[in-house]
């Protein structure tokens, strides 16, 4: 449904990988290891529709008249959401490391910071949804809540390709 | 008579094929079954990545089963608060109301993320040092945990497009 070029523009994977590696604490017991080579373990080869396709399908968007506008809205939102998404990844890494170090008290401020980052991310989703909603025809509007449910996490940084890489989710991994 | 025999033979053949298919051999969330490309589950990915022993696999399953159960209130709250954002926008509520809905949702998202990461830490603590040193497997597990408890029924399904 969406053009590949538009989706490529959404992909912040390289940036996320770089930031993730740079921000990993030196003394952390574990790092995500993003950017390291694959082990050759079996990959997930299951084809699923991307969230963008699901979103467009759910709303029955007109390919010619509505999809380009919605694509632009989502592309802009993905760019806007990228810093929050990167922050959320880093905070998740800190959470797991603190849990490994058995420091529950130190986890609280990290969870608080995650809440703020998640609010920024959800705010981007909400604004994008509002813009899309404004373009819908009356007969498309009843499906909007389900479409918004599909948007949950749509702009999260994608998992890297490889085993466990969720695939099909996040900004432009599709 | 001859037709019914043929039908019975056919049904028996189908039953045998189904019973011995890789899918049937694999036990979702169970143990002892080799992972196949047709049966990619989170547990199998962890097993394959970290080369888990039978006991480790069982321990990992127990950790994630328990966490999945404890995630039920968060799961419900995530769905509810996310839907509330859409409802606020649809009914043209004030920006203040929308922001409040967004913040409610963010709190649930943070709680779920914390649970996911705590569970991952528990999983990693069951491993031997050399297993934990496998950075590719750690990376895989790290991303595998995102949204792991979103499904009402099971955490072990093939990682799909659901997120939060």
Query: What residue in B sits closest to A113 (Cα-Cα)?
Result: B110
CATH number assigned to the domain comprising residue B88:
1.20.120.1490
| Residue, of B127 and A41, whose pLDDT is higher | B127
Which H or E run contains B130?
helix B129-132
DSSP string, B38-90: T---HHHHHHHHHT--HHHHHHHHHHHHHHHHHTHHHHHHHHHHHHHHHHHHH
pLDDT reported for residue B38: 55
Question: pLDDT per residue over A111-162, tens digit each?
Answer: 999 999 999 999 999 999 999 999 999 999 999 999 999 999 999 988 776 5
pLDDT tens for the 164 residues of chain B, in order: 455 555 444 444 444 333 333 333 333 444 444 444 557 899 999 999 999 999 999 999 999 999 999 999 999 999 999 999 999 999 999 999 999 999 999 999 999 999 999 999 999 999 999 999 999 999 999 999 999 999 998 998 876 767 88
Residue pointed to by tokens 């997120």: B163
Alpha helices in chain A (DSSP H): 4-9, 13-23, 51-59, 67-100, 104-135, 144-151
Task: Quote the domain boundaries for residue B52.
Answer: 37-144
Mutation to test the A interface, candidates B110, B112, B156, most A Cβ within 10 Å: B110
B 82-141 residues with CB < 8 A to A: 82-83, 85-87, 89-90, 98-99, 101-103, 105-107, 109-111, 113-114, 116-118, 120-122, 124-125, 132, 134-141
On whether residue B133 sits in a domain, the answer given is yes
On whether residue B160 sits in a domain, the answer given is no
pLDDT reported for residue A8: 36
Count of the separate structural domains present in chain B = 1
pTM: 0.75
CATH match for A4-20+49-151 among 1.20.950, 1.20.120, 2.60.40, 1.10.3470: 1.20.120
pLDDT reported for residue B2: 52
pLDDT reported for residue A129: 97
| Residue, of A50 and B161, whose pLDDT is higher | A50
On whether residue B119 sits in a domain, the answer given is yes
Q: Three-state SS for A107?
A: helix
On whether residue B72 sits in a domain, the answer given is yes
Sign of CA dihedral A152, B61, A24, B105: positive
CB contact under 8 A, B163 and A170: yes
CB contact under 8 A, B138 and A33: yes
CB contact under 8 A, B136 and A91: no
* Chain B partners within 8 Å of A123 (Cβ): 99, 102
On whether residue B5 sits in a domain, the answer given is no
Residue pointed to by tokens 């031997």: B128
pLDDT reported for residue B22: 36
B48 in reach of chain A (CB within 8 A) = yes
* Chain A partners within 8 Å of B101 (Cβ): 126
On whether residue B55 sits in a domain, the answer given is yes
Of A26, A28, A174, whose CA–CA distance to A101 is shortest?
A: A28
On whether residue B132 sits in a domain, the answer given is yes
Question: pLDDT per residue over A57-101, tens digit each?
Answer: 999 999 999 999 999 999 999 999 999 999 999 999 999 999 999
pLDDT reported for residue A49: 81
């Amino acid at each position: 449904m969406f053009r590949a070029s538009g989706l490529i523009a959404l992909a912040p994977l390289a940036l996320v990988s770089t930031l993730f590696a740079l921000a990993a604490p030196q003394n952390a017991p574990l790092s995500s290891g993003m950017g390291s080579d694959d082990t050759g373990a079996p990959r997930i080869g299951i084809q699923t529709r991307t969230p963008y396709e699901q979103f467009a399908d759910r709303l029955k968007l007109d390919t010619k008249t509505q999809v380009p506008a919605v694509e632009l809205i989502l592309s802009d939102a993905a760019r806007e959401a990228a810093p929050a998404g990167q922050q959320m990844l880093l905070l998740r890494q800190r959470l797991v490391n603190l849990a490994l170090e058995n420091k529950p008290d130190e986890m609280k401020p990290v969870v608080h910071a995650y809440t703020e980052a998640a609010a920024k991310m959800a705010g981007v989703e909400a604004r994008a949804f509002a813009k899309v909603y404004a373009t819908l025809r009356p007969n498309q509007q009843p499906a909007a809540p389900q479409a918004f449910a599909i948007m949950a996490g749509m702009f999260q940084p994608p998992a890297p390709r490889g085993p466990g890489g969720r695939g099909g989710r996040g900004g432009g991994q599709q | 008579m001859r037709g019914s025999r043929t039908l019975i033979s056919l049904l028996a053949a189908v039953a045998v094929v189904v019973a011995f298919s890789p899918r049937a051999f694999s036990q979702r969330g169970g143990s002892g079954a080799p992972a196949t490309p047709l049966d990619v589950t989170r547990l199998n990915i962890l097993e394959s990545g970290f080369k888990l022993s039978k006991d480790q696999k069982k321990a990992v399953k127990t950790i994630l089963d328990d966490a999945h159960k404890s995630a039920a209130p968060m799961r419900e709250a995530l769905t509810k608060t996310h839907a509330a954002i859409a409802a606020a926008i649809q009914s043209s509520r004030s920006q203040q109301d929308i922001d409040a809905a967004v913040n409610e949702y963010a709190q649930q998202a943070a709680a779920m993320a914390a649970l996911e990461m705590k569970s991952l830490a528990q999983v990693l603590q069951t491993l031997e040092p050399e297993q934990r040193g496998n950075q590719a497997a750690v990376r895989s597990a790290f991303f595998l945990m995102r949204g792991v408890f979103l499904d009402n029924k099971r955490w072990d399904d093939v990682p799909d497009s659901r997120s939060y």
